[in-house]
Every structure is written in C-alpha cells, then in structure tokens.
Structure 1
Amino acid sequence: MSIKSPVKTSGETIYSSEPDENLIVERIYKAVMEQQLAPNTKLSEARLCETFGVGRMRVRRALLLLSSQGIIDLHSNRGAYVACPDKSEAKDVFDARLLIEPPLVRQLAQAPSEASLALLADHIELEDAARRENERTEVIRLSGEFHTKLAQAIGNKSISRMMRELVTRTSLIVGLFGSSENASCPDDEHTKILNAIQSRDPERAEELLISHLNHIQSGLDMDAKQQPQDDLVSILGST
C-alpha cells in the first residue's frame, strides 16, 4: 500500500488524498472479521498513521468509531487494542444470538421476498467461490457476514446494526478460542438454512439456525489463546 506524501499545516501533519476515517474503520473491521487481527492486538496510532498515510486526528476519529462498535477497546494511558472477549462474554454473545437469530430467520422464512432470496443466494455463491479458490480469510469473513445478511434481508436496520456487532464479537471469540478447523462456518449449513427459507419452512429454518449456532459454539476451546500481532502495515495494507 503506498503512503501519501505529508503536507505540513499549522496543526498536525496531513496527507494529500488521504482516506477518511470510515475507510480506516472498514479496513480494520475487515481484518478483524477475517481473523487477521487477533484479539488484544495493539493498534498504535503511529503505526496506523504510517499504514494509511493519514494524520493522528483522523486515526483517533476512526478509533473512536471502532470503539463505539465494540471492535476495539480504548484504555487510558495505554492506547487502543483489538477487543478481547473473555469466557463470560463469549457465552453472553452466543446467548444473545440464540435470542435474536432464530426468530429472525423464522420471520424471514414465512414470506421471503425475491430480493431477500437473491441477496442470500448471491452471498452463498461468494462463499462457495472463496472455498473453491481456498481463500481462507475471505471464507472466514463471508461466513460471518451471512448472518448480517439475514438481518438485512428482513429490512430492519436496528437488528442489522446489532447483528453486525454480535457477528464481529463472534469473530473475535472464534479467533481467540477457536481452531483453524472451525474458523469459518461449516461448508453446507448456510445452504441448508437458505433452502429452508426458500421452501418457506419457518420451523426447519429456525431449527437449522439453532443447530448451526450450537455447532459453532461447541467447536470453541475456552482455554485456547491466540497471540496478538504487531505487523499492522502488512496486515492492514493488504486487506
């Protein structure tokens, strides 16, 4: 990733054609979803400025946005770190998903629109293509995003925002307590859920979704730990 040329002003150093904070947020979010940034990885302001070719104020605004979304934790006098859920929070996240997602998919399966079915089918095609190409990080990200697409398909923006945060926390949890074998959702379970939705079978769709979430949770090793990374330029510069 090329670094922009700095321009001195009366305040901070800024960079020509620098990306806004939303792009920085999306890059870091994507790296977390792909489990390239491990929980508890320090996000140094200086390294982020170097990586994105921006000034500190823009990085700080991005970090505040990421903190508000639960993706990072901000610590006084220590800086920003990728959020690191503990065992208790891991249980809370899956409990929350079991409360929200089964009724969501039941509602969707009762009367799915053609647009909703196309949205989910197109997404599963992307998952399948990434698996065929053995693009592991892309498979991990797309597997998580299938669940945000379910919320998007019913057209409820509030639930979509909640699901984005829950799916992100789940990715952090799997990155922390999971193995490489269960880093993404099992190959055919999303397809089975979509088939039940297409068949307008709410009970089957709900049953499959519950089984799917339990499958993910059962694959976690709550004593495992993933080491934080420090090469932000390499990770974020290539996302």
Structure 2
Amino acid sequence: MSIQQIHDPDSSLGDEHKIVDRIYNAVMQQNLPPMTKLSESTICESFGVGRMKARRALLLLASQGIVELRSNRGAFVASPTKSDADEVFEARIHIEPSLTAQVAKRIDARGLKALTKHINKEKAARRSGDRQEIIRLSGEFHVLVATVSGNGFLARTLRELVTRTSLIVAMFGSGKASCCRDDEHEQILEAIKNRDAGRASDLAREHLEHIQLDLDFSQTHQPEPDLVSLLKAR
C-alpha cells in the first residue's frame, strides 16, 4: 500500500481515488499552491471523467482538508493562515516525538527495512537533484514512521497533518523550508535503530521546530499552475 493510500480505497470509487491521489501528490510536491481553483470542468478534462466523479473527488479532498469548498465559488486548494500553521505544528509536536520514541522501542525488522529503504530513496533523490521527489519523500517519511508504529489511526492523522504542512510550506516556506534538512531523517532513523527512544524523541521535536522556524509569513503569493498539464495522466 502506498503512503498516499493509507485510507482504504473503495474499489467502487477507483476514478475518484485516482484524482484524489494525483492532487494529493501535487500538493505534497508543492506543485499545486494554496488558493488554486480546482474547477470540475478542469478535473473532467484532465482525467476524462464526468462531473459526478469530479464532484465526489472534490468532496473526498475536502474531507481530508486538502480542498476548501466555497459557496457559489467552487473548490480551491486549502490556504492555511499563520494561525493554522501554529496549530498544525503544535499538534505535530505533541504527537510525533512520543510516537517516534514508541517506534524506537517496538520496531521490528520489517519496519526498519521500510524506513531504511525510504531513507535510501531520499538520498538518491538528493544526489540526482530531483527537488519534487525530495519534497514528496521528506513529507512521507513522517507518515511512514507512524505507519510502522502499527497505529492506523495515528498514521491517518499524520497523513492529514503532513499534507497540511505541505500547504503551509508551499504558502510560507523560505528556500530552506521547501523540504526537510538533509541529514535529520537519517539521524532519527539511527536513533530508532539503536533503540534510543529518548534521542529519537528529541530529534523528532528538534526537526519539527527547524521546519517551523524556516517559515516566512511575509510571503504568500504563488503563481497559478497549468492545471490540465499538471494533473493530466501521461
């Protein structure tokens, strides 16, 4: 199961979940800025679906906090405020350090293999200079830590918080905040491998604080993307 499909897709909503996953990935890669209008007609053109499926996909995205539905105006990529950012990071700082400590205490060989494989993907993306992949993998590391904990509820919660963080970084991120710092995930993984719960917790907290400190709330403008080119299946 992919990270973006932590929700259990209903097979009867296959087209809708394809739309949700592609828009989710575009948000995670910061290719789809906050306040971008997502018209039903554009989604229909991009995915070759009817308006009913486009509408259901937008409702699913709204339920995950990725899209805002505005009366008489349509659907827009969610546009977080500074207050939203403060709340998201407060929630993550409450959840992730203790969760990471629990993972360090309980992780099995399968979980370690999954995290190590993910870190290797991050390294490969950095070596190749693939910024979009770096950004996507940086966010998904946090969801994967929750996933290997075995707590499905926390994994779904972290997925939503990480998605909201991507929107926050897309809106307020400085160059440094576009993705996680180079070696911090590796340090967290090393603490987990060593079963050092205290250090894993401290590193997770410091890591989140670094991301938050790198935000610049004086900048909010993002150019409108070409939605059809961005979302259309290749």
Letter in 1 for 2:95: I
**Aligned-partner SS, 1:81:** strand
User: What SS does the corresponding residue of 1:20 show, helix, strand or coil?
Assistant: helix
Instruction: Determine helix, strand or coil for the equivalent of 1:130.
Output: helix
CA contact (8 A) 1:40 1:228 kept: no
Q: How does 1:188-199 map to 2 (within 5 A)?
A: 188-199=183-194
> Equivalents in 2 of 1:29, 1:225: separation in Å?
20
The equivalent position to 2:217 in structure 1, one of 219, 222, 225, is 222
State the partner residue of 2:92.
97
Q: What's the TM-score once normalised by structure 2's chain length?
A: 0.92
Instruction: Using the TM superposition, give the Cα deviation of residue 237 of structure 1 relative to its aligned residue in structure 2, in angstroms.
Output: 2.3
1:14 alignment partner in structure 2? none
The answer for the alignment partner of 1:181 in structure 2 is 176
- Contact preservation (8 Å) 2:31, 2:225: no
Of the three residues 38, 47, 55, the one matched with 1:60 is: 55
CA, structure 1 residues 133+238, in 2 after alignment: closer, same or farther (shift >3 Å)?
farther
Matches within 5 A, 1:140-159: 140-159=135-154
Question: Partner of 1:42: helix, strand, or coil?
Answer: coil
Q: What displacement does 1:103 show? A: 0.6
When Rg is computed on C-alpha atoms for both structures, the one with the higher figure is: 1
Counting aligned pairs with the same residue, the percent is 56
- Where has structure 1 moved over 4 Å in runs of 4 or more? none
Higher mean displacement: 77-86 or 175-184:
175-184
Q: How far 1:167 sits from its partner (Å)?
A: 0.1
Cα offset, 1:230, TM superposition: 4.2
Cα distance in structure 2, aligned partners of 1:211 and 1:152: 21
Listed as ranges, the matches of 1:154-165 within 5 Å are 154-165=149-160
For 1:49 and 1:179, how far apart are their aligned partners in 2? 34
Tell me, yes or no, if structure 1 residue 47 matches structure 2 residue 42.
Answer: yes
Cα distance change on mapping 1:88 and 1:236 into 2, 3 Å:
same
Query: Given the alignment, which residue of 164, 182, 206 partners 2:201?
Result: 206
Aligned residues: 222
CA distance in 1, matches of 2:131, 2:124: 11
Aligned-pair CA distance for 1:227: 1.8
CA RMSD of aligned residues (A): 1.4
Separation of aligned partners in 2, 1:207 and 1:156: 21
In the TM superposition, residue 25 of structure 1 has moved relative to its aligned partner by: 0.3
Q: CA deviation at 1:128?
A: 1.0
Match of 2:105 in 1: 110
Report if aligned partners of 1:42, 1:230 keep a CA contact under 8 Å in 2. Answer: no
- CA contact under 8 A between 2:46 and 2:233: conserved in structure 1? no
1:183-202 per-residue CA deviation (whole Å, 9 max, x = no partner) reads: 01011000000000000000
Question: What per-residue deviation string (whole Å, max 9, x for no partner) do you get for residues 155-192 of structure 1?
Answer: 11100110000000000000000023320101100000
> 158, 163, 166: which is aligned to 2:161?
166
* Counterparts of 2:231 and 2:38, CA distance in 1: 11
- Determine whether 1:36 maps to 2:27: no
